[in-house]
Amino acid sequence: MAAPILHPVKKHIRRVKRSWFWEALFQHRGSIASQVLPSVFLLTVWSVLIAVLNYYGGAQIYLSETFITLLGVVLSLLLAFRSNQAYERFSEGRKVYGTLTAQMRNVMRLLVTGITINPPTPAGDEAIQKGYKLIVAFMYSMKHYLRAENDQSQWEDMNDVLDVIPPAVVPDAAQNGPVDPTNASNPALVATSTTGSTTELKKGLSTSVDVDSNINFYPDKLPFRIAQALAKHNAVNIAQGTMVLLPYGNSLDGMITGIVDASTTLERIATTPIPKAYNIHLKQILLIYCFSLPIQLMAKLGWWMVLVIAITAYCLLGVEMIARQLEMPFGYDENDLPIDDFCESLRDEFEKLVEDHRDIN
């Protein structure tokens, strides 16, 4: 019996409550406070030092308000651009992942319908099972690909579908020499034995490994190899008469093309960082501003300056930290997209569809 279907829509729907504002105000989970507070503490100590030097050290450390005002304008523009760009990447990632989910649902729907429209046969049931495994394998491999999880020991959620993934073609050691795992052009970057144990190919450990016939080597960019296997599976089913060509077979091939398009967009989001020069420049200006602010506010606020600096630093550094998390929405941060939940929910949905496909009218 299939596992209960999860409901991510119900889980992530926004609920409006009377106490929502106060709950969010003091909520720690999902907050960037723990990541920002060390820097805020450092700036607070700096502010106390400036106050001590002015009051007890006999120093007169002051700064013109014009400098901080001009620097504040530049900093506000940079932070606004940084946060907008980061949220745009987060939003686009969610939209594209939603498109990918719709395409996978359509692929599963067309696969099941195009095969079950024929009289039931063991070959048809086997084709549906293989198609289901390929779609699930693609879904999970895409998640791991976006997170740069190339070690097969991180693929525990897809161990039961690895049998349908086509392994990479490994060169014959007798003819072409041993496989070099340090070579970036080598497609065999991840290996797993047929018994389930993992063979790690890590740079710096060895310059070559012997090829074992009991080892399956999986290629880099595995999701796109699986998409190709899914397209081939559809073509074989059409050729054997298991799949009805029109409209299901042709439409399914178009859906696979849409999956590849959406996956390529997700790949672009995950592999295109904010320009390094921009990040460095923003952090430099942010640092100069925060360390200069106590010197300016000392004359007017006195010891109250310390509290003002702590609050200001928390606000400015918090915005930058939030932007840093949002620019890569496929990771494990609390504010990242819940891709694990999406995958589990979709897998349960597909599993239920495959189990009940003969009963659907």
Report which secondary-structure segment, H or E, holds 190.
strand 188-193
Let me know whether 95 and 141 are in one domain.
yes
User: Which residue from 262, 186, 174 is spatially nearest to 218, judged by alpha carbons?
Assistant: 186
| Model confidence at 302: pLDDT above 80 | yes
Domain range spanning residue 159? 151-219
| Model confidence at 275: pLDDT above 90 | no
Let me know whether 215 and 115 are in one domain.
no
- Considering only residues 339 and 118, tell me which one the structure prediction assigns the higher pLDDT: 339
Tell me the pLDDT band of 98, cut-offs 50, 70 and 90. Answer: very high
Q: What's the pTM?
A: 0.76
- Domain count of the chain? 2
Domain boundary, last residue among 204, 219, 234: 219
Ramachandran bin of 177, using left for φ above 0, alpha for ψ from -120 to 50, beta for the remaining angles: left
Does any domain span residue 21? no
Let me know whether 2 and 143 are in one domain.
yes
Does any domain span residue 238? yes
DSSP lists the bridge partners of residue 191 as: 199, 217
Mean pLDDT over 233-248 rounds to 89
Let me know whether 244 and 281 are in one domain.
yes
Task: State how far the Cα of 102 lies from the Cα of 111, in Å rounded to an integer.
Answer: 14
| Model confidence at 355: pLDDT above 50 | yes
Let me know whether 94 and 165 are in one domain.
no
pLDDT digits (tens, 9 = 90+) for 153-193: 888 888 888 888 866 544 443 344 444 433 434 333 333 33
Tell me the pLDDT band of 36, cut-offs 50, 70 and 90. Answer: very high
Q: What is the pLDDT of residue 254?
A: 92
Q: Is residue 218 helix, strand or coil? A: strand
Q: What is the pLDDT of residue 55?
A: 82
| Model confidence at 19: pLDDT above 70 | no
Domain boundary, last residue among 219, 235, 260: 219
